[in-house]
Amino acid sequence: MCGRYVLKASTFEMQKHFHLDEVPQWTARYNIAPMQAAPIIQSIAPRKLLVAQWGLLPHWTKDVKIAHQLINARSETISAKAAFRDLLSSHRCIVPADGFYEWHREGKQRLPHFIHRGDSALLSMAGLWSRWRSPDGLDVETFTIITAAANDDMKELHERMPIFFTDEQRTLWLSDTRDEAAVKELLKAPLAKQLTLTAVSTHVNSVQVDDERCLEPPATVQLRLL
């Protein structure tokens, strides 16, 4: 799964990497959590960066609490879930990220790791978006991150991970095609290799924390008795 991630890239870096024409100002974030706002790129406007809420609200829902359950969408069951099945043809998006966090349990401890590319390049996470209208008539853009079974790099930490696209895959995902078979094939492609797993400080464990210290090395070395 993906329950916390990092986007510390500058506005200029995102504009250059994703070939964007329209980019809002963005302040580096080191611990983005569900229900918070973060940038996405929609397939209906592939050269524009838009800030949306992480946690999908289907246009038909009357219960905003459902967003907490829809921060991730399993690639294998997208077509079967009411919240997602109508979005694949025309409501695709990319979620830019520098990397994401996952935790490894050792006893009662939750030890965080930062998963990122070894060359520190930006990642393109696959997502779906929806526009929800509040009771007072306000339109709210929301999104979910699509996950798949973890690859060999990630299995030691968690059984699920986000789907990352290459530049070529991202172009098709953000195109105006409504060929669901073609876009579904993208979700079956081999997941990104050469990911780097870096142990980081438990400072990141709290969703109230959002600063550079989240990416610092652990304060103490964890020793195991043999």
Give domain status of residue 224, yes or no. Answer: no
Q: Is the pLDDT of residue 218 over 60?
A: yes
Domain count, the chain: 1
102 as an active site residue: the answer is yes
99 vs 219, more confident: 99
Which one from 102, 159, 185, 212 is the annotated catalytic residue? 102
Give domain status of residue 30, yes or no. Answer: yes
Range of the domain at 137: 5-215
Give domain status of residue 223, yes or no. Answer: no
Which one from 2, 13, 180, 214 is the annotated catalytic residue? 2
Give domain status of residue 185, yes or no. Answer: yes
Give domain status of residue 193, yes or no. Answer: yes
Give domain status of residue 225, yes or no. Answer: no
Q: How confident is the model at residue 224 (pLDDT cuts 50, 70, 90)?
A: very low
At 85-127, the pLDDT tens digits run 999 999 999 999 999 999 988 888 889 999 999 899 999 999 9
- The three-state (H, E, C) secondary structure of 145-191, written as one string: EEEEECCCCCCCCCCEEECECCHHHHHHHCCCCCCHHHHHHHCCCCC
Give domain status of residue 226, yes or no. Answer: no
At 59-79, the pLDDT tens digits run 999 999 999 999 999 999 999
Q: Which two tokens stand for residue 104?
A: 């490894």
CATH of the domain at 37: 3.90.1680.10
Give domain status of residue 220, yes or no. Answer: no
With vertex at residue 219, the alpha carbon angle to CA 218 and CA 222, rounded to the nearest 5 degrees, is 65
214 as an active site residue: the answer is no
